[in-house]
Structures are given as structure tokens and as C-alpha cells.
A and B are shown apart, each in its own frame.
Chain A
Amino acid sequence: MKLGRGSDDARMLADSGQGVFPESWAGPWQAACKRIAEAGYGAAVYDAYRYNAPKIAELVGPQLAIGLADRVSLIAIKASCRAAEILPAVAARAAVRLNRDRGEYAAWLQLMERLAYLAPESTSMVLERMDQLLSRLDVSRLEAWLLAGVRSSGSDAQRRRAFFSFDDPEAARWLDHESGSLVFSDISDQLKAYMVALWGQPVPLRESNSITTGQGRRRAGFGPGIAFIPSTFPGFIGAQAEALFQAVVAHIGAHLQYSGNRFPVAELKPLQVALISLIEDARVEQLAMRDMPGLHRLWTPFHTARAAGAVTAPSLMARLSRALIDPAFKDDNPWVCKAKAMFYRRQQEWENPLISREIGGLIGNDLGQMRIQFNARTYVSEPAYRDDNLGLWDFGDQEQAETLETELLFDAVDIEKQEEDDAASPDREREEQLETEEADANRVSFSVEDEGGIPVARYPEYDYLTGRSRPEWTTLVEYAPPPGKASMIEQILETQADMVSRLQTLIRSARVSRPQKFYRQPEGEFLDLNASIEAMISRRVGEPPDTRVFGRTERRGRDLSVQVLLDISESTSDRVVGSNARILDLERQATALLAHAMAGLDDPFAIAAFCSNRREQVRYYRLKDFDKPYNSKAMANLAGLQSGYSTRLGAAMRHAAEALKRQQTHRRLLLVVTDGEPSDIDVTDSQYLVEDARHVVHLLAMEGIDVFCVGLDSGGDSYLTRIFGRRNVVQIDRLERLPEKLPMLYFRLTA
């Protein structure tokens, strides 16, 4: 096929290129066409290029249009012919979207080339969605989004495909994030503080798992002592989005403050459940506004229902919501009027949650008699700041209801209930039940594998390619350390008794504290005024004066807290080069000696260990906390350490630093003991975690935390130096070297 077209092509080329390519470019243009025609990617690729290249030439100049040919070839080879076929048309549209900016366009094209290397299987999918992507992202944001996809899937092509086809909800989440819509994680700290300030109790706020209800609308939710907030509210931007998040938090806080016990669902119909929830929403908001009248200004702007239009259940309910909160809102609908009157008549009883139940039940009957259809499946509470109200209801199975991942179960319950009401086909119902059972089974097996780990925090991770951090990228899971035998540590201390005392002497002599002034010194950097005057007086009186008339500033004592962070990844089970001991043993011994010395000197210190299993599970073990004594329990924890998994250093350091930040000492030291390069099984780019760790070290330095590394791998010099800085790394291959190297560390802190 390709061979047969040669001469025709030359003629057509001249036609399509005429007027677009200046004379001087005619040669290269024909050569480019010929190359593609003869490469064997198929006629479709060739046609697409030949058809679109002149357009591109018109938009961004002939050079870039001809250069496209190389990229088409490359993508055809690396990715697929399908991708190469759509590339030229996409490129033409991209040139328009990028305002004909040559630099931007070239950057975009280069990005597509990189994509073909990083995610060949997904290139065509990304290209197909390019219009949508470019409508929300500029090129650098697009790069960040593409990299988020690549990073989140590691080397797993299947997961990459899920991400780039938007099957993975993470894709939409990151698109929201990169497109600059206000994302929960951007203002989570602010919202947490807002919640505490308003209600006086710290309620953990979690990002809900991109649950979309009904027509893609998202709602917050809450459970006992916890709130779930959607990552974004599409359609709200800027200050309005921020106000919406605040409204959500204030509303959930009002529930937690005033809603009391859950209502039993029992025999209630979905319509009644929805109406009782609606009245309850209004009731808690009224109570909150009694205390904080300004909340009225926060909430009412989101009530936009109008007293007109079709009489459907959702519209009537939205109108009622507005009528109950907004006194200025007039609605003549008899049902709305009646419900509003009923609600305000009970003003004196608003403190009592049961009136919601009663009023909701009554107006539910009325609405039922009006024969207005209500579809629980598509119903979403309005306006957007209201939660899904599932937290108000007791669905009978208390234990399940209290699990944190409530949404899935509640959905299932909802559907089941509705199926009963609608008397739907039995098959359908069985399917739903099966799904629920499956979900349950997954949960159980998950928790067994978890050995009781508790996810405690999510941390950002820094991507050196984009120069930005991805928020909430890693999940830190804390595990109870498996206890070993404390006698093992005592044995180490006994055999190394002389080392312990040497270390103690070394640490004792370290002067890490705020400089203090010392007066009446025989020498020093300033005159001690009091001593000088006394000396003069003595001279006049005729006594021999005291010559100690100087003062100086000096550091004495040690005001230092130390957090030791041990890397216990799989590689620590290797033998130390030239020795029989395992690296983990060496870590354990060194830590035991250091801990014993520090405990003997009453220096505040903590010990933790970490390893990681993908970004979703950075495992963290607290062996000893700052406020706990170094006793047999801490020793048993240290003795019980086992090697396993990988080394996601940055996330662990972020978490270890949290405890350190709360210490009020003059200096704070994070002492990382590691054997190998940061790595994890979902990361293919070896530089990525190194750069992230380096970024953390910089951040901590800005917060006044010193990070120091003890390397147990003589080959690790280069990357450890890269992460921690040359002066902050010591290499130790034998325990005996510890006393030699440790003073360097303390020297660094005082220098």
C-alpha cells in the first residue's frame, strides 16, 4: 500500500502545502511526508499527518509542522499506530487551544513524546481526551496530571490504563486538583481549625472517597466523631467554594453538637427518612444560629430554590429547606406553608431532636397524600452544603454503621430498602446483596492483613519533575510494634558496657543549648559592669580589687530532643559487608547504646521504625515516645523489630518530624538510621524518592529541625549526601565506629 502511492502523493503534497509552506520549506515538507508514507504505519496515519500538518503550519509555523513528523513516527513506534493516527489532529486543536504559542505548543508536543515513553498503552486514551484536558489545564499542569497518573500506578500498565481512562476516581480527583478548583486538601488545615473554633471539639475531617451521589453531585457525610468532606464541589469556584466548605463544616458541627442519638430507621419509608433529615437539618441550624447569628450569612446564600416551577418532591423539599432558614423567603405552596408553620410553632421545643421525627413524619404523610413521586435513588439533599444525612440514622446493625467506611454500606442499605418499597425483581435484590457481601468479605480480609494498623495521617510527596508537592499522596499507617525480648537489649548493653560509658561521656560533653551569659569571669568578651564598679570601689577603698571583671556568653548543658528513625526495610536483613551481623542487628545495637546513654542523661528522645508497602501504606512503629520512659517495654519493642517491605523515607520523616515539632527544646534533631536508597515497589524512577526525601530535609531545616543520617551502607554515599547534605551523613559499618562518629553529629549541632 505504502509503495503504491508515491507519485500521487508528491502531487497532492504540493497541493495541500501550497500557500502554507513557503518555497524554502517545500523540500523538507515533502521529505517528511515521504518518511511517514514509507514507514509502514498505515494509510490512516499518513492521511492524518498530511491533512493536519498544513493547519499546524498556519497556526504555529512550518518548522513545527514538519517537526511533527518525527513525533508521529516516534509515537507510532513507542505507543501505537492508533495514537500516531490521532496525534496530528489533536496537535492542530492543541495549537489553537494554546493560543498559537510556539513555545507552549513545542512543550506540549514534547510532553506527548514523554508520555509515549512513560505510558505507551495509555497514550491514545490521553490524546482522545486532550480537548477536555487542555480546556482545564495548561501545559505544566497537564504534565503534573500525567505524572500523577504515572506515579500512582508505578510500573503497573493495568493501573495506568484505569487512571487515564478515568475509571480510577483518582484521575478525576487529580484533574480537579491540577485545574485549580479549590480542593479539600488545600484548605483542610483551615477547616479543621474552623471546626475547633466554632464547636470547641476537634473533629477529624477526612476527604471522602470521591463518592458521587445521584447526578454527579457530591455531599459530605459524618459518623460518630468524624466528618467526611468531598474533595471538590464542582461548579463552585474561588471564594464561593471556600465559603461552601466552611458551610459544610459548620453544618456538620451543628449536627455533632445538637443531633444527639441516631434515629432508628425501623419501618420508615425513604421519603420519611429524607423529610425527617430535612427538618433535623433545619432544627440544628436554628440552634446553631441562636448561638452564632453570623452563620445565617454563611448558609442562606446557598439556598437558591425559587417559589415557582414544577411541583416535584425534590423541588418542594428544596423550597421547604429555604423557607425554614430564610425568613425573607415567601412561598405560597400550601404544603411548604403548613410545614413551616408547624416547625416554627414548636420553636420552644427545638432543643428536642424528637420533634424532627414528629414533624418530618407528619409532613411526609401530607406529601404522600398529594401523590407526589419520590425517588430515593436520585434524591440528593439540597443545598450543596448539607450532608447526606446518613450519620443521623441507625440502620440497625450498629457495628457496621460505626465503621469509618460507612458510605458503601449505607448505599447498599439504601438500595435494599428501596427495592423492598418498590417491590423490584428479586434477581436485582440478590445481586445487590451479593455485592454487599463481597464488600464485607474484602473488608475483613483487609483488616486481617492489616494486623491492626491504624491510618493516622496523609502526607504530600514532592515530585522533582514538576517541582511541586502532591498533597495527601502517601498514607501513614501506625502499627503496634511486635514485642521481642527485652533481655536481648540488656545483653547488648552488658557486652558493650565500656561503649555505653564512652558514649555517655561524649554526649554529656556536648553543649547544645541556648547561649547563656556568665558574669565575673577572669576573661571574656564583654566587661561585667557590676564587677567593674566593685573593682573600682575596692581600689578607692584601698582593698585589692577582684580582677574577674569580664563576662562571656557560652553554651552549657544540653537542651536537645532527639527522634531516632530506623529504616527496617527488607534490605536490612542483609549481612553487613565483611561481617556476620545483619544490618538490622547493627541498627538495633547502635540504637540500644545510644538510647541507653541518652536515657541515663535525661535527654528527651523517641524511637520509631518504618518501612513501606506502596504509597498507601507507609508503616510506622513507635518504639518509644518522648513522654514515655525508656523501660523494658521500649526495649522489648526495639528487640522485636523485623525486616520487611520497602523504604519510603520522605513520608516517614514527615511523620517523625510531627512528634519532634511539639518538643520545646532549643534544638531538635531527627536522626535517621538507614541502610539503603529510598525505594518502593510502586516507584520506578529511582531519583523520585531521593528528591522527595531531600525536599523534606529542606522543609524541616526551615522549621528548625536538624536532620542527620547514619548510613549503614558504605556504598550509599552519593544518594545519602544528596538527601541530607555532605556534612550531615556519617557512614558506619561496624558498631565500634559509633563513638568515633557520634561527636561529629553533636559538633554539627553546636557549630
Chain B
Amino acid sequence: MSLKDYLITDEPYYHATGREVAHFEAAYADRMPIMLKGPTGCGKTRFVEHMAWRLNKPLVSVACHEDMTASDLVGRYLLDADGTVWHDGPLTLAVRHGAICYLDEIVEARQDTTVVIHSLTDDRRMLPLEKKNEVLKAHPDFQMVISYNPGYQSVLKDLKESTKQRFGAVDFGYPALDVEARIIAHESGVDEKIAATLVKLAEKSRNLKGHGLDEGASTRMLIHVGQLINRGIPLAEACDIALVLPITDDHDIRKALTSAIAACT
């Protein structure tokens, strides 16, 4: 079975904010596992899609969650009419056929689940499938990428030191103002001037981080606002729908944010 379905054919738009593309390419050349850090909605997933396209490798993404077990990643025997059948999990799929495996929000998974990637992320590069009695050597194209948002999880949810130290990391922040404006203009279709305003008001919301908000408005949010504006919704209303209302339930913070947005336009 090939991973044709997992190949990305059209270029996903990504605007580099630094030298992260070159860094990632260098890491990929040695198949070094990479950890993408940064606040939500700043472009981590888009970046890994872009890199998979650029390197012309299939991308297998897994959204991690609390109830995920090792078998969900590795695979399991299932029963059918004729007997038992082995099904590869997404991780095994990527290892066997040579894809980039992207584990999104890795800290959400339990620590006993995440240790299955250990043998893949050091120089062994192999995955033992105990139940199948098979040791799977990683395909030469296989690379492991995880994303990790250190901010909002509780202290309990953190990566094991032994997991952390297997990865190189790329740190993502919000892009510089003009870059972010260009990204928003491109993704949502609004003109640069509106995009620049959106970035300015995002900055106001980011000022509130730690003063009522856990996280400021993300680039993704601003793109949503832009899309609504593009569909003919006035800016103030679009901000309400796609930014102020989703980001907080606190009445005072909402009002303050709405007023600050009004001040920017």
C-alpha cells in the first residue's frame, strides 16, 4: 500500500517568518525528529504541511487526545469472518511507507502512550510490533514531527524529559506585523490596509495576555475575521463574531476588547 492519498499536491501557503524552512530542511536531511512550539493558531500545522509538500513526502497527521492508547498509534488485530487481521495504525503506516508523521498536541496524549515513539526517535529508528511479532525498520523517508503548546496545559501535562530531549525544536511566535498582515491578506482576501488594521487590533488583544486572556487573538482568528469582512460583514461585527466572542466569556474583558478594537479603526 502506498501513501498516495497522504501526498500534498498543491502548495500550502506559508510565509516564513525566519529561517525555519532552511532549519527544517537541514533537520530532515538527517531525519532528525522535530518539535514545533508556539501558541495556538500561529501556523504550526500549516508549516508542517508546507514542508511535506516542499519535500514531496506524504504527511500522516494524528490529533492526540487523552484516551489515545499505544494501539491507536501502532495498530491492532481486528476480527473478521475469516479470523484475525492486523491493521496498521497511523504511526506504523508512516514508518512502513516513509512519511512524515505529525503528532499534533502531543501533551494531550498520556505519557505511557507517547513512549512508543522513543525507539523511532533515536538512532534505532525502528518500531517493535510485539503483538505481530515484527520489528519494523523505519523507511528512509520517515520523520517524526510533534507540536507542543507549552502555555495553557496544566503543570501535570508536560512531556517527559526523555521524550523532550529526542527532538530538535522550532519556536513559532506571531509573525512580525507586516508579515502577519500579508498572511491575512493572502488567506482571507481582504486588502492590505484592512489586514494591517486587523493585525493592530490583534496586538491589543495580545496585550491582554495574562491580564484577563490566556492567549491573544491568533493569526487564524484574524484570517476568520478577514473572511467575514470579505463576505460583506462590517469590520466591527466581524471582530465580534470571530474574535471577541470566541476568545473570552468575561463580560468586562469583552467590553474592553471591543472598545480597544473600536479605537484601532
Contacts and interface: CB of A to CB of B under 8 A. Distances in A.
Interface of A: 187, 189-194, 196-200, 202, 246, 250, 291-295, 297-298, 517, 519, 530, 533-534, 536-537, 540, 559, 664-666
A190 B69 contact: no
A540 B83 CA distance: 8
B154 A200 contact: no
Contacts of A537: 77, 79, 84
Contact of A197 (B77, B83, B205): B205
Contacts of A193: 208, 211-212, 252-253, 255-257
A540 B84 contact: yes
B77 A194 contact: no
A580 B4 CA distance: 83
Nearest to A191: B256
Contact of B263 (A187, A250, A664, A665): A250
Nearest to B152: A664
Interface of B is mostly: helix
B71 A530 contact: yes
B79 A294 contact: no
B255 A292 contact: no
B29 interface: no
Interface residues of B, number: 34
B263 A196 contact: no
Interface string B73-91: 0001111000110000000
Interface of A is mostly: helix
A603 to B, nearest CB: 12
B204 A533 contact: no
B131 to A, nearest CB: 7
A92 B261 CA distance: 52
A266 B154 CA distance: 56
B185 to A, nearest CB: 19
B187 to A, nearest CB: 24
Nearest to B256: A193
A188 to B, nearest CB: 9
Counting from the closest, the 5 A-B pairs by CB-CB distance are A193-B256, A197-B260, A190-B252, A194-B256, A189-B252
Nearest to A517: B67
B259 A665 contact: no
B1 interface: no
B264 interface: yes
A517 B263 CA distance: 49
A190 B265 contact: no
B155 interface: yes
A196 B255 contact: no
A199 B207 contact: yes
B156 interface: yes
B257 A197 contact: yes
Interface in B218-265: 251-253, 255-257, 259-265
A295 B261 CA distance: 10
Contacts of A189: 252-253
A196 B213 CA distance: 11
B77 A246 contact: no
B131 A194 contact: no
Contacts of A536: 79
A540 B204 CA distance: 64
A197 B257 CA distance: 7
Interface string B192-217: 00000000100111011001100000
B78 A194 contact: no
Contacts of A540: 83-84
The CB with the most chain A CB atoms within 10 A, among B77, B131, B263, is that of B263
A290 to B, nearest CB: 12
Contacts of A298: 259, 262-263
A192 B253 CA distance: 9
Given A250-B263, A295-B263, 14 more contacts: A187-B255, A191-B256, A193-B257, A198-B207, A200-B207, A292-B263, A294-B262, A294-B263, A294-B265, A530-B71, A537-B84, A540-B84, A559-B156, A665-B155
B262 A187 contact: no
A231 B198 CA distance: 34
Contacts of B78: 533
A147 to B, nearest CB: 27
A380 B231 CA distance: 48
A536 B85 CA distance: 13
Nearest to A514: B156
Contacts of B257: 193, 197
Contact of B207 (A196, A530, A664): A196
B77 A196 contact: no
A520 to B, nearest CB: 10
Contact of A246 (B200, B252, B259): B259
Contact of A530 (B76, B154, B212, B261): B76
Given A193-B211, A196-B208, A298-B263, A665 B154 contact: yes
Contacts of A534: 77, 131
B211 A202 contact: yes
Contacts of B156: 559
A533 B77 contact: yes
Contact of A293 (B84, B155, B205, B264): B264
9 contacts: A193-B208, A193-B257, A197-B259, A246-B259, A298-B263, A519-B69, A533-B78, A536-B79, A540-B84
Nearest to B255: A190
A193 B77 CA distance: 55
B48 to A, nearest CB: 28
A294 B203 CA distance: 15
